Amino acid sequence: MHTLSSVTHFRVRFRECDPLQIVWHGNYLKYFEDAREEFCKEHGFSYYDVRVRGYATPIVKSLCEHKLPLRYSDKFEVEVSFIPTPAAKMIFNYKVTSQNKLVATGETVQVFLDKKGELVLSNPPFFYEWKQKMGIE
Amino acid sequence: MHTLSSVTHFRVRFRECDPLQIVWHGNYLKYFEDAREEFCKEHGFSYYDVRVRGYATPIVKSLCEHKLPLRYSDKFEVEVSFIPTPAAKMIFNYKVTSQNKLVATGETVQVFLDKKGELVLSNPPFFYEWKQKMGIE
Amino acid sequence: MHTLSSVTHFRVRFRECDPLQIVWHGNYLKYFEDAREEFCKEHGFSYYDVRVRGYATPIVKSLCEHKLPLRYSDKFEVEVSFIPTPAAKMIFNYKVTSQNKLVATGETVQVFLDKKGELVLSNPPFFYEWKQKMGIE
Amino acid sequence: MHTLSSVTHFRVRFRECDPLQIVWHGNYLKYFEDAREEFCKEHGFSYYDVRVRGYATPIVKSLCEHKLPLRYSDKFEVEVSFIPTPAAKMIFNYKVTSQNKLVATGETVQVFLDKKGELVLSNPPFFYEWKQKMGIE
């Protein structure tokens, strides 16, 4: 089975750096979200569909491990990969690189909640169909 | 007519500072919001009431003028004052001081929107009553 | 004298919206900063030069006035214009539009500080030269 | 060996919530940082000392797992515990609770860098002394 992934390019903003002159660690979760958004756009996964069908997909786990710092105006890229699972979850892995060096890795896990805010235990039909269409189910 | 005001105490957080080692200017709007929240709590103005009655109070203007920088772990205080106006608006002025020195001043203006998102041109009854009770109408 | 300006395109991110489903007002200062960065890049004004020469350019005033809200995934653009002044200041005006409608306007003012953190009262040579080169002095 | 911990009380701010009306997941790293700051203050661990001695303590890992959402104006508390390790690292665990319910758990790991930005492999003397004084070494 192939891996569905997407690469997004960034440049460190002034306000994202802290007094140590490096990107404040919490900002990586923003980069992950931007990369995830790009992934969804690129692979036809629509948050609009999610909402219209009455689902929400809150994040239940986020992890980031830092190898090297990023500084103001550094260019870097985030590769986000969809990690297949039979469970009703969306798992993404992240690889942050700059000038071919590994800067950070990460993971997020999202679940599906229905209109009542209850956890959905089996794959929502639209999600199952999207995975089939993408050849990852 | 007296002035309704409130003072909130803060300490600069690490992540609020930028590579120049000073508080990034955009963070003052967060301090203003925290100070406004404290004002509302102190003077019995309830955002819960606002929402329950179907109103929203978006900010239509925000201004901040900086005199001195703040640095990591500096203690400072924000004095927020309600500026009376017959219009259906909430105008607040802000004075940021640290060690008795003026750090910044600011202003925010909020309007009332009804359930349909339309601008409300006359004072909502609950707001008029609050102003009367506070002796500022 | 012509006006030096630059247009940057954006799309509203999920995390930039608040419980009212609109962009939280403080985020416009981030859009302004991103637009300013793009302006500098486009017109050859280098913050690297600024720092190398020992200057800092803190913001001493920021203003934003809101006409219409922006919502998650809305596309919009920020036009930033350099406002000439003989003083040792950088004044920028901002116009935020979405689908040809005016969303917000704004202004920022920056001053120059020297290595000692003292306010610079006359135009730093490199800034004067840049203005001359751009035909705005 | 006892556990060194600290509890900090919070209230969810308006701007910390997203269009799903819950705290945006990335904000928990801010709560963790605030709780860590409080821990350091309470237990006499000084970042000022860290800097004066020429060290930096960047975060190399951050993890957050969410069990329940938090909403605007919810009161909650973060219990942060120091996890002893012989390595030259600072490991903290976090437990977020609201009304006696578990909201989230988390972990951060920090390392020591010296003046040259090199990783410090053995405990810096001032850190070793602090651990001894606290009875956790």
Beta bridge partners of D132: none
- Per-residue pLDDT at D119 exceeds 70: yes
CB count in 10 Å sphere of residue D41:
15
Distance from CA of A71 to the nearest CA of C (A): 13
Which DSSP helix (H) or strand (E) runs through A29?
A: helix A28-42
pLDDT tens for A13-68 read 999 999 989 999 999 999 999 999 999 999 999 877 788 889 999 999 999 999 99
Distance between CA atoms of residues C13 and D22, nearest Å: 16
Q: How many residues does chain B have?
A: 137
The domain segmentation of chain D, as residue ranges, is 4-133
pLDDT category, A101, cuts 50, 70, 90? very high
Q: How far is CA B46 from CA A1, B12, B130, C23, in A?
A: 55, 27, 10, 22
Chains contacting D (3+ CB pairs below 8 angstroms)? A, B, C
C-alpha dihedral (B47, B50, B51, B53), degrees to nearest 10? 150
Neighbours of D94 (CB within 10 A): 23
Looking at beta carbons, which residues of chain D come within 8 Å of B73?
A: 47-48
Could you give the ipTM of this predicted complex? 0.94
With CB atoms and an 8 Å threshold, state whether B14 touches D37.
Answer: yes
Once rounded to an integer, what is the mean pLDDT over residues D63-84? 97
User: What per-residue confidence (pLDDT) applies to B28?
Assistant: 98
Contact A22 D61 (CB under 8 A): no
d(CA C65, CA B62): 7
Tell me, what's the pLDDT at A85? 93
Q: How big is the B-D interface in CB pairs under 8 Å?
A: 20
Tens-level pLDDT at each residue, chain B (137 residues): 678 999 999 999 999 999 989 999 999 999 999 999 999 999 999 877 788 889 999 999 999 999 999 999 999 999 999 999 999 999 999 999 999 999 999 999 999 999 998 999 999 999 999 999 998 87
The pLDDT of residue C93 is 98
pLDDT value at position B1?
62
- Res. D97: pLDDT tops 90: yes
Q: Do A29 and D33 touch (CB under 8 A)?
A: no
pLDDT of residue A1: 62
The DSSP output letter for A57 is: -
Amino acid at C74: D
- CATH code of B4-133, in short, is 3.10.129.10
Tokens of D73: 């104006």
User: DSSP per residue over C12-50, as a string?
Assistant: --GGGB-TTSBB-GGGHHHHHHHHHHHHHHHTT--HHHH
CA atoms of A63 and C41, how far apart (whole Å): 34
Residue C95 to chain A, least CA–CA distance (Å) = 21
Contact (CB<8Å) B15/A24? yes
Tokens of C54: 């020992």
Residue with tokens 């803060």: B10
pLDDT at A51: 84
- Side-chain half-sphere of A29: how many Cα atoms within 13 Å? 21
C24 interaction partners in chain D (CB closer than 8 Å): 15
**CA–CA gap between residue A57 and residue A110 (Å, rounded):** 6
Residues with pLDDT less than 70, chain C? 1
Alpha-carbon span D6 to D36, nearest angstrom: 8
What is the reported pLDDT for A47?
78
- pLDDT for residue C1: 62
